[in-house]
Amino acid sequence: MKHIISYLLAFAFVVSAMGQDNPPAPMSVVPQPRQIEWHKMEQYAFVHFTINTFTDREWGYGDESPELFNPTDFDADALVKVVKDANLKGLILTAKHHDGFCLWPSEYTEHSVKNSPYKGGQGDIVGEVAAACRRHGIKFGIYLSPWDRNHSDYGTEAYLEYYRNQVRELLTNYGPVFEMWFDGANGGDGYYGGANEVRRVASGYLYYDWPKVIDIIRELSPECVVWSSSLPDARWCSNERGVIDEHCWAMATPEELYRDGVDNMPLLRHGQEDGTRWAPAEADVSIRPGWFYHASEQPKSAEELFDIYLTSVGRGGTLLLSLAPDRRGRIPEQDVEALMAWRTMVDDTFRNDLSADATFAVSSSRGDGYEAVAMQGVDEAYWATADDVTTGDVYIRWDAPITMRYVVIQEHIALGQRVRRFAVETRDGDEWRQVAAGTTVGYKRILPLDDAVTTSELRIRFLDSRGPLTIARVAVY
């Protein structure tokens, strides 16, 4: 028996010396399955709609009469169809914004659609949108403002109970949801049931007692990604322009991100290579200057939206693009036009992967199943280097020269984010010429080249990595 064991061990040693066919060990921080699904969505809609739409404001004070909420032509299917046609994969609705008005007939307040003229008080915007999302295969998400300028108990323990009851009510009646969005805005003054005063919570981070809210979410909607200032599954990218930094880790340490309730902007922007939690950046941005509809404002152009796509989806995070229904409850026609033109631009640009008919080679690979070919769009496969190899080159060769504008690189993030530095080069006779370079990659990195480049050979150099390389995909457009 002893002999057999030593024989088997010796055999295993020879095989491993030839190549490793086991996957590389995961990094210490990796995404949860719900976060991997979220990354794959890449882009989804925000919908800002409430009493502000009818008062022409961005932040309601909290004393607005529910009578003001009166969309004349709201149609949840039409709204979701716009989202779907724009190739947005989900929709997060402002169930309650800072003014406290609830778009569903909550049993915990009278300040809701049930006291509005909409459908004679029988309407339920949250319910109608959630149902339309399910009908059209769009994932549904909820924004529920923690700050509530209407509620008389805001700032006390009683309000927290109200808030948690609403989270439970929403998830029970309209879940499961793919994301819950807990806005960090806490402005101070408000109506507060008639008190008309300034109420500051010492530290939003501590007051709301997020772990208790998150427990409710885990219980009722385990697949939900939580966007919040505490224990985030996804974090703010530090601006509302749709720009994730070029240097961006998906990892972050929550206690340092929001220290004492204050946003740590550099950490939100860059994440932390040694962060303790997978908390990738999400870029929230509105198609218009404001979040809510204002007749005086115009939507961004398709070109502006395309740039936003490159700086969000193209930088390892997701794009949360906000739409603003007008007083009819419809997405304004010019916004729909911009969205569809944007979708066409993205589709046209990234339709034909020029690397599909190229030959891939790598400087070294881990072994069977982790070869160069794994990067050519093979589902779930990835190129990996041996345990002690943290650099490597990918060569892409064409029979005839191609002209390219974009290089796309993806890491196999299930095993963690690793790449620290890379460069893209083209062959120029006997020389290699650098055409792009970067630091982090993450789920997906799109590198726009300054000018279109014509070449028949490309080299992507991974110059530094936190562990063996695990590259899921390289594509060229």
| Contacts with ligand FUL, residue ranges (CB under 6 A) | 58, 183, 185, 284, 291
Minimum distance from residue 237 beta carbon to ligand FUL (Å) = 12
Bridge partner residues of 284 (DSSP): 320
Tokens 């206690």 appear where? 255
Minimum distance from residue 291 beta carbon to ligand FUL (Å) = 4
Query: Is-contact 138 130, C-beta < 8 A?
Result: no
Query: Is-contact 243 312, C-beta < 8 A?
Result: yes
Minimum distance from residue 185 beta carbon to ligand FUL (Å) = 4
Give the residue nearest to ligand FUL (CB): 185
**Cβ closer to ligand FUL: 273 or 297?**
297
**For residue 399, which amino acid is it?**
D
Closest CA to 269 of 93, 74, 440: 440
End-to-end CA distance of the chain: 58
Minimum distance from residue 402 beta carbon to ligand FUL (Å) = 41
Two tokens, residue 269: 């922007």
**Cβ closer to ligand FUL: 105 or 242?**
242
Minimum distance from residue 356 beta carbon to ligand FUL (Å) = 38
**Cβ closer to ligand FUL: 312 or 376?**
312
**Cβ closer to ligand FUL: 145 or 426?**
145
- How far apart CA 342 and CA 250 sit, in angstroms, is 27
- How far apart CA 459 and CA 396 sit, in angstroms, is 6
Minimum distance from residue 145 beta carbon to ligand FUL (Å) = 7
Minimum distance from residue 46 beta carbon to ligand FUL (Å) = 7
Q: Which secondary structure element, helix H or strand E, spans residue 187, and what is its range?
A: none
Minimum distance from residue 134 beta carbon to ligand FUL (Å) = 24
**Cβ closer to ligand FUL: 149 or 473?**
149
Q: Where are the alpha helices (DSSP H) in 261-398?
A: 265-270, 302-312, 333-349
Secondary structure percentages of the chain, helix, strand, coil, to 5: 30, 25, 45
**Cβ closer to ligand FUL: 25 or 185?**
185
Q: Where are the alpha helices (DSSP H) in 89-183?
A: 125-136, 157-174
Query: Rounded to whole angstroms, what are the CA distances from 252 to 144, 240, 256, 322, 448?
Result: 24, 19, 8, 25, 27
Two tokens, residue 235: 């974090």
Beta-carbon count within 10 A of 30 CB: 16
Cα dihedral 373→375→377→381 (10° resolution): 90
Minimum distance from residue 459 beta carbon to ligand FUL (Å) = 41
**Cβ closer to ligand FUL: 33 or 188?**
188
Minimum distance from residue 322 beta carbon to ligand FUL (Å) = 7
Closest CA to 31 of 176, 311, 235: 235
**Cβ closer to ligand FUL: 38 or 249?**
38
**Cβ closer to ligand FUL: 163 or 370?**
163
**Cβ closer to ligand FUL: 95 or 474?**
95
- Phi, psi angle pair for 47, to nearest 5°: -130, 115
